[in-house]
Copies of this chain bind each other. A is one copy, B any other.
Amino acid sequence: MRNKIYVALVHYPVYNRNDEIVATSVTNFDIHDISRACRTYDIANYYIITPVKSQIELTNRIIGYWQIGDGIGFNKDRNEAFENTLVIESIEKALYDIKEKTGQDARIVTTSARIFDNSISYEKMKEKIKTDDYPILLLFGTGFGLTNEVMDMSYHILEPIRANTKYNHLSVRSAVSIILDRLLGEE
């Protein structure tokens, strides 16, 4: 089901530094860099998840600039990058969208710095992606990470990207890029 891999960047619900549940702001680079990475690795859709109306409007305006606005003439590659990028209000709506498109329930896969009962190595997950048939929704958190409630929805939790390092604070843009490469990159 390599053609049924979906990516979502979650701006709500996530924790802030005080463990409160908040909605973070969409940043321009999250839209651009992750859209380009998703297109490069043939992701079916990249969902930018935020329920905040002004953020939805702003994000659609940025995407629209490259899709139907002046951006097309300026940079065709960028227009193409956004072809599969969508703003959507919630994780539930993303799951519903995948169900509508594939007729199947997607399984949520997340990442964590900790090890859980359902943790899985990149190698095993890569194998499952080749052999299993269900759609997968790879969820990435912003701020200080996905809430416990969202983590509990995970079918699998990917192991930390770097287990043995003093410093391990990749940007979400770097994390998405590396994880897509590990799961979907060439052998």
Contact = CB atoms under 8 A, between A and B. Distances in A.
A42 interface: yes
Interface residues of A, number: 34
Contact of A41 (B78, B162, B186): B162
B36 A169 contact: yes
A57 interface: no
B186 A163 contact: yes
8 contacts: A29-B33, A32-B171, A36-B169, A40-B162, A80-B167, A164-B186, A174-B177, A177-B178
Interface of A: 29, 32-33, 36-37, 39-42, 77-78, 80-81, 161-171, 173-178, 181-182, 185-186
